[in-house]
Each structure stands twice: as C-alpha cells, then as structure tokens.
C-alpha cells in the first residue's frame, strides 16, 4: 500500500475514479434516448417519423416550420425576418427565419412572458447591487438605484416601454429565487415548450456582451404567445408610462422606444411593439404588431443595417402580408364547409333550454388564407377535453384547428354555455360525441365510427364535397343518431413504473448519479482516509521496532 503515500499518486488515483464515475454516470443518460424501444419524439416530429426526411435520432431542428405558406415575397435588407398571424402562429412571410442571430433586447419578450405567467403584478421588486452594477455600461437604464423598490407591474412597464435593462435583470432575479442564473433555464425550457427550434438564452436582458442566440421564428412564437395576455398588449401599446414615486426617488416618466407606437414614425396599422436595440456585429432588431381588416400579425426583423431600415423593412413585410392574405370568420367557414352539418355550431337541440344555442365556437376566431383561396380547401382537427365540473356561463370543452397545406391557419375554442342549465356530467358525455363528428362517420349512417377518449379526441375531418343540385340523388331522411354507447370507446393505459410523472431521460440521469455516488464516495474514503491511516499506523509500529 506504499503507492498511496505520495500526494501526487493520490491525485492520479482520484482522477481515475472520476473518469470511472463519469463513464457510469453518462451511460444511462445516453441510453435514455431509446428506453424499452420507446423513441423520444422532439418538437416538430410526428409519431413514428421525423419531418422533412430527418432520420431516426436526428437532432437537427425542423426548420420547415419557419417557411411561409406562399413562399417568396418582397426583398428586404434585414438579414432575417418573419411575419406570423398571432392566433394560429401561421407563417405568412419569412426570410432566413430559422437562422441564428443575436436577439438583443428582444430577449425581454421572453422575460416579460415568464413575468406575466409566474408573478403577481402587485408584488414588489427590490433592486439588488447586481441588477444595477452587473449589466454593463452600454445598456438602457431609467436611473434606478440599489435597494429601490417597484411593483412587478411598474417594473414590467419599464422593461417593455423603455427597455430598461436593470428591470429585466431584477425580474429574472426575482423569478430565480434571488439568482438570475436560476432563471435562465426557465427561459430556455419555456422556449422549448413553445416549439422553438434555434434559441439559447444566456441573459434575462439580451445585452451585456454575452453570446446568446435565437432566430426570427422563435422570437415570433414568443410574441404570439404574449398576445394572449391583454396586460401585455396594454403595456406594449403605451406611448408613455409614469412610474410612481418609490421608496428612494420621485415619480419618473418613461417614453416608448418603438417609433411606430410613440408616433415619431408613422405606420397606420401598427398597434404595439418592442425595440430590439443594436449589436455592432449583427445590426438592429425590431418587433412590431399590426392589425388590418380583422387580421392581427407580428413582424420580427433581425440584422438591419440601421434603425430606420428596421422600420422600412417591417413596413415592406407587413404590407406584403396584408396584400396577399385574408381572414375568414370560423363560424362562416363552418357554414360553407359543412353546409349539411349544423349540429355543432348552429343548432344543438339536446343542449337547448329554450334560450338559444348552448354549444358554439368562439365568435371572434378566424382563419387566415391566401387571397383567391376559399375555405373549402381546409382540413381540420377537433379535440375535446371535458372538465371535471362545469361552471355557470362559458366552459371551454374543446378546440377546433384548421389547416392549409398542412399548416395551421386558425384555431378556436368550442364553448358550452351553461346558464344554470340542469345537465349532469353523465348526460353531457352521453350526447356530446354526437356533435363532435360528421353524421356520415356514425355507424347508423354507414360509417365506421370513431375512437372516443374522455381526455382527448382528434378526428381528421375532410370537407364535405359540393354536390350539384341538378345531378343530386334524393337524400333519404337520416335515422335517429346512434346513442353514444354504440361508439367505440377506448381508454388510454395509465402510466406506470418508477416515478411515472418524471421524464425517462431524467430518471436515467438520476440512476446514473446514484451509481456514481455509490462508486465514488467509498473510493474517496479508501484512498484519503483508510489507506493513509493504515500507512501511519504501520509507520508507528516500524519506528517502535
């Protein structure tokens, strides 16, 4: 055991143990990509296959989602750009929209999204020393000082209206439990949930010289998600905002940095926005929301040569979209596509209490299509999810999505209005499937039926073909619809196994970590405690002799 007496030899021994532990730790993590023959599918992949010819296990992002419906479009100076319809996320114009660029202050869109989702607007934010002094010098500030306190709402206004970097840092700190480093994984995880394909956030502000990257498509996804929150629109459309007096300073007035919103530049369709700042290597960036003829879109431009060209490129892209696409009310789409099927959205006698239709589609929803295209070309999917309990008033019980060339171009909630209507859960479930599918899909109409699952149903419904009345054969009176009990009912198997709610990859890493600790700790004790102690004891015996 003399070989363990030298300090240098011990260091080599511990390195060998670390290498062994790393190998044991890494194997489960690698193996977890395919556990028990169950492949892990990534965003953009369909069950059993990868998009655009991607092979098994291909980690490349699906960049096809970042191409526009029509393709082509006007030439602009920006290195990358995208225009998306905010409701469906349909890409209406794109230029290099999947390519990686610095998001700069458009990073604050993600910080804003998480702030709205996670924090109470009446809560307070106290600005730490780091939030004031560690954000760099070439940044945008509103003069906040250490230990100054604002409400979350005021902080959010300062970040979005004035693009204040210290406010973005402080919000990240608050959501990260006092450490902004713990907030960054939240940003990247939320980006993956939205379907992002090429983003790595490394700051909450987007400034400070860090090498973080994103793409126009991913930033467009964040911008679309933000428009689900009326508070965000209210803030992003404000020309001015007064921050009330704080514990350390008097009230201060903030000016909107987006020229279209502040009206220092004119574009009549612009309704909200966020500036992206400038990078010496990648140019200017801008986010602009616009609305015309009932269609609301968001434009992202990256890598512009100047601040003015940012706005010029935005106008060019937005005008192209407004000139080449049109919106249709989903209610009107249903009337034209399913003219002979009125049960779902127009007349529901089983849900009728005499006051009117109780099941209907969101009246404000619409689909967006290229000019010259009619809704008859659409396909759709319907999914429903029955709530455990119904509230009085509107209950969302499902969604309908519409597709053009395999791209989602509109979606809407299906609503059950319950004005103290005496219908039990069992009664509702018994009649609802009859209104979910076309009559010719029911067994009583000669159809093969559908698979019903109480948590999720997806039925691909093709448009009903148009029939020439002159050549049409007499249509027999349809029999009474088959009761729901005659439909095929299939339940999903329950998830089982160790920690069923934890992803397979996470469980694999936990197992690897446990093996690593079990192997590593005993080796450390042997090398640095037991063997040296034994050597010292042997030396003492030798000296006595």
* 370 three-class SS: strand
The token pair that represents 473 in the structure block: 């054969």
Long-range contacts of residues 510-519, Cβ cutoff 8 Å, at least 24 apart: 511/28, 512/24, 512/25, 512/26, 512/27, 512/28, 512/29, 513/25, 515/24, 515/25, 515/28, 516/21, 516/22, 516/24, 516/25, 519/17, 519/20, 519/21, 519/24
- Cα separations in angstroms, 26 against 15, 58, 234: 16, 20, 48
Distance of alpha carbon 35 from alpha carbon 498, whole angstroms: 14
Domain ranges of the chain: 2-32+509-544, 80-325, 338-465+483-489
Would you write out the chain's pLDDT as a tens digit for each of its 545 residues? 444 455 566 666 666 666 665 554 444 333 333 333 222 222 223 233 333 333 334 456 677 888 999 988 999 999 999 999 999 999 999 999 999 999 999 999 999 999 999 999 999 999 999 999 888 777 888 999 999 999 999 999 999 999 999 999 999 999 999 999 999 999 999 999 999 999 999 999 988 656 789 999 999 999 999 999 999 999 999 999 999 999 999 999 999 999 999 999 999 999 999 999 887 777 899 999 999 999 999 999 999 999 999 999 999 999 999 999 999 888 777 765 544 333 344 444 555 555 556 777 787 888 999 998 888 788 888 777 777 777 777 888 888 888 888 888 988 888 877 765 555 556 655 555 545 544 455 454 555 554 433 333 333 333 434 444 444 444 443 334 333 333 333 333 334 445 555 555 566 667 777 777 777 777 777 777 667 776 666 666 565 55
Q: In what order do the strands lie in the sheet with 459-461?
A: 359-361, 407-418, 393-404, 379-384, 459-461
- Per DSSP, which regions of 445-501 are E strands? 451-452, 459-461, 488-489
CA-wise closest residue to 69 among 292, 373, 304, 286: 373
Distance of alpha carbon 95 from alpha carbon 82, whole angstroms: 6
Distance of alpha carbon 30 from alpha carbon 505, whole angstroms: 9
Handedness of CA 177, 179, 181, 183 (dihedral sign): positive
Identify the pLDDT of residue 456: 34
Distance of alpha carbon 386 from alpha carbon 189, whole angstroms: 28
DSSP secondary structure of 296-319: EEEEEEEEESSHHHHHHHHHHHHH
Identify the pLDDT of residue 170: 95
Strand 451-452 to strand 407-418: parallel, antiparallel, or no bridges (unpaired)?
A: unpaired
Residues whose CB falls within 8 Å of the CB of residue 478, separated by 6 or more in sequence, listed in order: 439, 444, 445
Q: How many CB atoms lie within 10 A of CB 146?
A: 14
The 8-class DSSP code of residue 37 comes to T
Residue 415 φ then ψ, to 5°: -115, 135
Distance of alpha carbon 185 from alpha carbon 191, whole angstroms: 10
**pTM (2 decimals)?**
0.66
Say whether domain 80-325 belongs to CATH 3.40.710.10: yes
- Per DSSP, which regions of 346-449 are E strands? 359-361, 366-370, 379-384, 393-404, 407-418
Is the separation of the CB atoms in 112 and 159 below 8 Å?
yes
CA-wise closest residue to 376 among 454, 296, 464, 470: 464
pLDDT tens-digit map of 399-418:
888 888 888 898 888 887 77
Distance of alpha carbon 74 from alpha carbon 316, whole angstroms: 7
Identify the pLDDT of residue 21: 58
Q: How many CA atoms, within 13 angstroms, populate the side-chain half-sphere of residue 64?
A: 12
Handedness of CA 501, 505, 511, 516 (dihedral sign): negative
The token pair that represents 13 in the structure block: 């021994």
CA-wise closest residue to 222 among 303, 301, 117, 113: 113
Residue 319 φ then ψ, to 5°: -60, -40
Is the separation of the CB atoms in 208 and 108 below 8 Å?
no
Count of all residues that appear for the chain in the document: 545
Is the separation of the CB atoms in 284 and 311 below 8 Å?
no
b/e code 279-300 from CB counts within 10 Å (16+ = b): beebbbbbbbbbebeebbbbbb
């Amino acid at each position: 055991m003399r070989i363990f007496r030298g300090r240098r030899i011990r260091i080599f021994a511990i390195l060998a143990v670390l290498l062994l532990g790393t190998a044991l730790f890494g194997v489960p993590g690698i193996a977890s990509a395919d556990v028990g023959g169950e492949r892990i599918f990534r965003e953009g992949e369909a069950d059993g296959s990868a998009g655009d010819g991607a092979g098994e296990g291909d980690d490349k992002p699906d960049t096809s989602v970042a191409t526009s419906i029509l393709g082509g479009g006007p030439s602009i100076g920006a290195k990358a750009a995208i225009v998306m319809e905010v409701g469906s996320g349909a890409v209406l114009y794109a230029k290099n929209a999947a390519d990686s660029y610095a998001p700069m202050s458009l990073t604050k869109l993600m910080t804003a999204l998480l702030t709205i989702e996670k924090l109470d607007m009446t809560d307070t934010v106290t600005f730490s020393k780091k939030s004031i002094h560690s954000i760099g010098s070439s940044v945008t500030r509103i003069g906040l000082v250490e230990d100054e306190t604002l409400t979350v709402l005021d902080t959010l206004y300062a970040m979005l209206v004035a693009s204040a970097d210290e406010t973005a840092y402080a919000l990240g700190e608050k959501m990260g439990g006092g450490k902004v480093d713990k907030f960054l994984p939240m940003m990247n995880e939320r980006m993956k949930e939205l379907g992002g394909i090429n983003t790595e956030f490394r700051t909450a502000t987007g400034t400070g010289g860090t090498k973080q990257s994103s793409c126009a498509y991913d930033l467009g996804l964040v911008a679309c998600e933000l428009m689900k929150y009326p508070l965000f629109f209210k803030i992003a459309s404000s020309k001015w905002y007064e921050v009330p007096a704080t514990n350390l300073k008097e009230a201060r007035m903030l000016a909107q940095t987006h020229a279209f919103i502040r009206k220092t530049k004119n574009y009549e369709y612009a309704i909200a926005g966020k500036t992206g700042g400038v990078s010496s290597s990648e140019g200017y960036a801008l986010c602009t929301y616009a609305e015309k003829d009932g269609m609301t879109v968001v434009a992202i431009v990256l890598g512009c040569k100047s601040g003015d060209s940012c706005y010029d490129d935005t106008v060019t892209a937005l005008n192209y979209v407004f000139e080449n696409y049109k919106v249709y009310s989903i209610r009107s789409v249903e009337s034209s596509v399913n003219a002979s099927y009125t049960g779902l959205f127009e007349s529901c006698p089983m849900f009728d209490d005499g006051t009117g239709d109780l099941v209907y589609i969101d009246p404000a929803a619409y689909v967006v299509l290229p000019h010259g295209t009619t809704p008859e070309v659409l396909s759709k999917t319907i999914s429903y999810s029955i709530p455990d309990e119904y509230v009085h008033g509107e209950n969302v019980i499902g969604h309908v999505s519409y597709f053009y060339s395999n791209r989602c171009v509109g979606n809407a909630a299906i609503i059950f209005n319950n004005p103290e209507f005496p219908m039990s859960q069992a009664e509702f479930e018994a009649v609802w499937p009859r209104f979910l599918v076309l009559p010719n899909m029911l067994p009583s109409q000669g159809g093969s039926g559908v698979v019903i699952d109480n948590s999720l149903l997806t039925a691909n419904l093709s448009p009903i073909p148009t029939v020439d009345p002159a050549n049409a054969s007499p249509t027999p009176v349809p029999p009474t619809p088959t009761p729901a009990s005659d439909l095929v009912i299939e339940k999903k198997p329950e998830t089982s196994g160790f920690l069923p709610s934890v992803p397979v990859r996470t469980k694999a890493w936990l197992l690897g970590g446990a093996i690593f600790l079990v192997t590593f700790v005993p080796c450390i004790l042997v090398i640095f405690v037991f063997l040296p102690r034994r050597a010292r004891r042997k030396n003492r015996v030798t000296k006595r002799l």
